[in-house]
Amino acid sequence: MRLGLIHINMGPMSDPAEVVQAARAAEQAGFDSVWAGEHLVLPDPQVPPSPMAPQDPALDSLLALTWAAAHTATIRLATGIIILPQRNPVLLAKQVATLDVLSGGRVMLGVGAGLAPPDPDGAARTIEAGAAAIAGLR
């Protein structure tokens, strides 16, 4: 069994010192990975099923994992997940490849379409955009 520590970039762990402390502690405890979630845009006011309020602190997932990589040696660095419709796929590919090089090949990339907005037409557009972005990574 492999264990990972999730959300090293959100809430109380959104402080740079806390990211380092959590990543190092997980590595020293024998965890396989640390995971960073992503919420670039949050509805204000919060709308279910959104798990976070718009004022909740969250660091960018890739930058937080880069910070963790700089302070660890072996633990894997995972995104859980990157929301593709909110990212430029070419820029994202470069950023992830750079993190993988800087970390010595420790990146695990998770991607998805994100939460569906309350508007059904918007949900369809989000899912279609996500699917197109995923297909573009091939």
128 pLDDT above the threshold of 80: no
120 pLDDT above the threshold of 50: no
pLDDT at position 129 is 67
pLDDT at position 42 is 81
Q: Domain residues for 44?
A: 4-136
More confident call, 78 vs 133 = 78
b/e map of 46-85 (b: 16 or more CB within 10 Å)?
eeeebeeeeeeebbebbebbbbbbeebeebbbbbbbbbbb
**Which tens digit of pLDDT belongs to each residue from 81-116?**
999 888 999 999 999 999 999 999 999 999 998 765
Query: How many domains, in total, are found in the chain?
Result: 1
**Which tens digit of pLDDT belongs to each residue from 2-27?**
999 999 999 999 999 999 999 999 99
pLDDT at position 117 is 55
pLDDT at position 57 is 95
CATH of the domain at 127: 3.20.20.30
Output the average pLDDT for the chain. Answer: 88
Residue owning tokens 């492999």: 2
121 pLDDT above the threshold of 50: no
Tell me the whole-structure pTM to 2 decimals.
0.84
